[in-house]
């Protein structure tokens, strides 16, 4: 079966690559022949919860490339982004953007920026939130906080030694 779109875009910090990230990336490759992946620069993560624990860009890039290789994806390009819109408002050939329910508003912002530049808005492909056994969703913030693992499983509380 052919892909629905020639070129799609997906973006994120992709810190502590978890099931939600993987679902998002898989969806992008399911619907697009070629996938542009925007990976946030280090300066963009400073306002995130537990920002000091976010892996540096180079490590996040390495983990992303490893995931793509393990899954046999070769039809992609990773670009460093310095703003929420990144390159999505510059590449005319893009046809769709893949987001989660949580990041849907970001797709609307991208489309607004594209329209301001006289470009067609992107079709928005949305995936559902991947749930955690601890709460409503798996998130890098919960992983950085030491509450869940990348599969959404709760981490056992560490016993403190009293001696």
How far apart are alpha carbons 40 and 13 in whole angstroms? 5
Beta-carbon neighbour count of residue 96 at 10 Å?
Answer: 20
How far apart are alpha carbons 75 and 33 in whole angstroms? 7
How far apart are alpha carbons 21 and 40 in whole angstroms? 14
Residue 129 confidence (pLDDT):
75
How far apart are alpha carbons 32 and 88 in whole angstroms? 15
pLDDT tens by residue, the chain, 163 residues = 579 999 999 999 998 888 889 999 999 999 999 999 999 999 998 887 677 888 999 999 999 999 999 999 999 999 999 998 999 999 999 999 999 988 899 999 999 999 999 999 999 999 987 776 666 666 666 766 777 677 677 776 544 434 3
Q: How is the chain split into domains, by residue range? A: 5-144
Residue 134 confidence (pLDDT):
61
Residue 160 confidence (pLDDT):
41
Long-range CB contacts for residues 17-21, cutoff 8 Å, separation at least 24: 17/63, 17/64, 17/67, 17/150, 18/130, 18/138, 18/139, 18/140, 18/143, 18/150, 18/151, 18/152, 19/130, 19/138, 19/150, 19/151, 19/152, 20/100, 20/129, 20/130, 20/137, 20/138, 20/139
Partners of residue 124 on adjacent β-strands: 97
Partners of residue 11 on adjacent β-strands: 38
42, 52 Cβ separation under 8 angstroms: no
Q: Which of the listed CATH numbers 3.40.630.30, 3.40.50.620, 3.10.310.10, 2.60.130.10 matches domain 5-144?
A: 3.40.50.620
């Amino acid at each position: 079966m052919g892909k629905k779109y020639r070129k799609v875009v997906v973006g994120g910090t992709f810190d502590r690559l978890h099931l939600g990230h993987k679902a998002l990336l898989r969806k992008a490759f399911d619907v697009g022949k070629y996938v542009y992946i925007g990976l946030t620069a280090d300066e963009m993560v400073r306002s995130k919860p537990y920002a000091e624990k976010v892996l540096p860009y180079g490590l996040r890039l390495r983990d992303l490339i490893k995931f793509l290789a393990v899954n046999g994806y070769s039809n992609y390009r990773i670009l460093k982004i310095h703003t929420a819109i990144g390159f999505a408002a510059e590449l005319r050939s893009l046809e769709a953007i893949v987001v989660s329910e949580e990041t849907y508003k970001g797709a609307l912002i991208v489309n607004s920026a594209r329209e301001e530049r006289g470009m067609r808005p992107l079709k928005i492909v949305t995936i559902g939130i991947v749930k955690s056994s601890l709460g409503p969703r798996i998130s890098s913030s919960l992983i950085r906080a030491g509450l869940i693992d990348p599969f959404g499983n709760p981490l056992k509380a560490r016993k403190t030694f009293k001696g």
